[in-house]
Amino acid sequence: MKNYFCGALFVALASCSSSNNKTADNVSSPNGNLTVDFGITKKQQAYYLVKRNKQVVIDTSYIGLIRKDENFFNELAIASISDEEKISDSYSLLHGKKKDVTYKANQKILHLENKNGKKLDVVFNVSDDGFAFKYKFPEKSDDVKYITEEKTAYNFKPSAKAWLQPMSKAKSGWEQCNPGYEEYYQMDVPVNAKSPIGEGWVYPALFKEGDTWMAVSETGLGRTYCGTHLAYDDAAKVMKVVFPQPKEIFTPDAALNPEAKLPWETPWRIVAIGDLETVTNSTLGTDLADKAVSDDTSYIKPGIASWSWAILKDDSVNYDTTKEFIDYAADMKWPYCLIDAGWDTRIGEPKIKELIAYAKDKNVKLILWYNSAGSWNTVKYTPKDKFLTKESRDAEFKKLHDWGIAGVKVDFFGGDGQSMIAYYHDILDSALKNQILVNFHGATLPRGWQRTYPNLMTAEAIKGFEFISFEQNVADQAPSHCAMLPFTRNLYEPMDFTPMALDNIPNINRRSTSAFELALPTLFLSGIQHLAETPQGMAKMPEFVKDYLKDIHTNWDESKLLAGFPGKDVVMARRKGNVWFITGINGENKAKDITIDLSFIKKNGYMITDGATALFDKTDVKPGKTTVTLKPYGGFVMKF
């Protein structure tokens, strides 16, 4: 099979002539390291192939769409191929790995026609850190069109290794809350590994072939498409893009698969490609997201939040404990305090208003929890049903704005069907119009929405701290899990892992050291970082640890990977202004020395590590090459 395609590809490339009768072409990155070949085979199917440094890293891969009324996969012809266009875009993000971003790519458009003369365009962008493509139907229609299948494939070599998170079964799990993107990543497995659940794999998916790393995801997901994921096709021996399960919908008669009038565009299919540093530093996930719908961002302040529920659970949602956590946030100079599920009955609106005023006097703003509700789960926690209709949604957000509430945590969503994706957009849009910040929990991967809606601060979509607090088995796996996340789930999108338990977790034997935990708030990216530690636990910490935590950030000017391997260890540098924060964790149960090059830093600083006898040690550190000794499941932080 592969010999045939290689031969077909050679014939296609050799037959290139003018732009109107080519059967193949290519486009390369600005630096020339990446090249995407594309065209149609003799079987009249569209394909692409990717090379890095002239070596094939993604082999011949078919692309196309099946619409209910038309086939755009078989019997295709090239109408034309556009001239190369240089793409340049500069934008700023309010939180994430990098503040000011410039995206440069070279673009070509493959204009296709099917046997009935209907048109499909495939737009290819190639940048220095990866490539992307999307489909476009350029014609106009008065009636709604339906995509029944996407034929996008990624043909990785059989020798490739993968880091993959299984997609869960819809309406499974506690109170039918799945899928919530809360499974463990399968690490360093064969590219054709079977999902233990049988529903494929979620984004981002990480692959390694030789010395080349590749991270597959999607971005620019609007109201007119469903969220997709990956599944391995045993017959074709490729990883393919697939649509959601039938139960992943807003209401029983709502849209599952993509439907819209023409003209119509799909989300971008994106693949970061390079060495591990290039992939980890990539910004493709926001580079190709839809631009911000509003430039009014004066009310949006990234920062840290205190949160009682993480360790103290439901009983902590009361007036007195909330006051204590407001005081805690104020003492630590954190701008937010989150009040979790049941506040409407356990505290009540009159007392909530008192807490808002109390917090305001201490320069702290409150965030309130909501149940997304609907028929997709059986969760009883309230408040619920507040966002299901436009009228109710707009009224609730206006009320919260009038109260002085900073944001909402909306929980327990129902999957990736087009109607459910539209619901996410509806919430973000209404919240933005009322200057309310948003945190999605029990939710899908945001797919670049933090650029489109600057009020989206974070989203869960991860097996985070709350799972550690419930199950010893999860705590046992947490160090390796955490050491994998900067390369996968947290690659582009903010992640509400809710990290950092420096002290004890009730009924759980924490495997990670306290310095490991201390590293997580600056290692993980989240516009609002909700920290698990309690006031009582923080009171036991040395003053130098408290001082460090009073001055950490969630919006970074620059980030760079200094060392690491997914699931084993990671060292990350992040800059805010002229201050550098270096954080590292050891995901393995063995001591190790990690040497990092800090020559880009021009001043002295300090390092906090696990102590030999005390909980922590603090030492001075100078720039240049530095070797850090990490305990098993240990960590460190530096500040310059």
pLDDT tens for residues 387-443? 999 999 999 999 999 999 999 999 999 999 999 999 999 999 999 999 999 999 999
The pLDDT value recorded for residue 506 is: 98
> 403 near 353, Cβ under 8 Å?
yes
Q: Which of 287, 315, 336 is the last residue of a domain?
A: 287
CA distance 283 to 118: 34
> 186 near 166, Cβ under 8 Å?
yes
Whether residue 492 is contained in a domain is answered as yes
The pLDDT value recorded for residue 375 is: 85
Whether residue 293 is contained in a domain is answered as no
Q: Average pLDDT in the 85-111 region?
A: 99
253 CB neighbour count, 10 Å cutoff: 7
CA distance 303 to 131: 32
578 shares its domain with 640:
yes
Q: Which of 239, 258, 287 is the last residue of a domain?
A: 287
- Residues 442-461: pLDDT tens digits? 999 999 999 999 999 999 99
Sign of the dihedral defined by the CA atoms of residues 490, 388, 418, 249, in that order: positive
Which value, to the nearest 10 degrees, does the dihedral of the CA atoms of residues 446, 447, 449, 450 take? 80
CA distance 167 to 212: 25
452 shares its domain with 475:
no
Whether residue 472 is contained in a domain is answered as yes
When computed from its CA atoms, the radius of gyration of the chain, rounded to whole angstroms, is: 25
72 shares its domain with 217:
yes
Whether residue 182 is contained in a domain is answered as yes
CA distance 394 to 388: 10
Q: Average pLDDT in the 270-294 region?
A: 99
* Cα–Cα nearest to 63, from 128, 151, 141: 151
Q: Average pLDDT in the 620-639 region?
A: 98
Domain with residue 79: its CATH number is: 2.70.98.10
Q: Average pLDDT in the 549-569 region?
A: 99
Domain with residue 350: its CATH number is: 3.20.20.70
Give the chain's mean pLDDT.
96
76 shares its domain with 220:
yes
Extract long-range pairs of 497-500: CB within 8 Å, 24+ residues apart. Answer: 497/460, 497/462, 497/464, 497/465, 497/524, 497/526, 498/307, 498/310, 498/464, 498/465, 498/466, 498/530, 498/531, 498/532, 499/464, 499/465, 499/524, 499/529, 499/531, 499/532, 500/465, 500/531, 500/532, 500/533
136 shares its domain with 171:
yes
The pLDDT value recorded for residue 245 is: 98
Whether residue 535 is contained in a domain is answered as no
| Burial (Cβ within 10 Å: 0-12, 13-18, ≥19) of residue 32 | exposed
135 shares its domain with 198:
yes
- Residues 315-333: pLDDT tens digits? 999 999 999 999 999 999 9
355 shares its domain with 497:
no
In the sheet with 558-565, reading across from the earlier edge strand, the strands are: 558-565, 569-576, 579-586, 635-639, 605-610, 616-621
The pLDDT value recorded for residue 20 is: 57
Query: Do β-strands 365-371 and 407-411 pair in parallel, antiparallel, or remain unpaired?
Result: parallel
Q: Average pLDDT in the 122-140 region?
A: 99
* Cα–Cα nearest to 124, from 109, 105, 112: 109
CA distance 561 to 285: 17
The pLDDT value recorded for residue 9 is: 40
479 shares its domain with 353:
no
Whether residue 533 is contained in a domain is answered as no
Q: Average pLDDT in the 602-625 region?
A: 97
Structural domain including 177 reads: 2-92+102-287
Q: In DSSP terms, which residues pair with 592 in a beta bridge?
A: 630
613 shares its domain with 502:
yes
Whether residue 542 is contained in a domain is answered as no
The pLDDT value recorded for residue 22 is: 83
* Cα–Cα nearest to 206, from 607, 565, 571, 620: 565
Q: Average pLDDT in the 50-71 region?
A: 99
Whether residue 381 is contained in a domain is answered as yes
Number of compact structural domains in the chain: 3
559 shares its domain with 421:
no
513 shares its domain with 591:
yes
424 shares its domain with 501:
no
Q: Which of 461, 489, 514 is the last residue of a domain?
A: 461
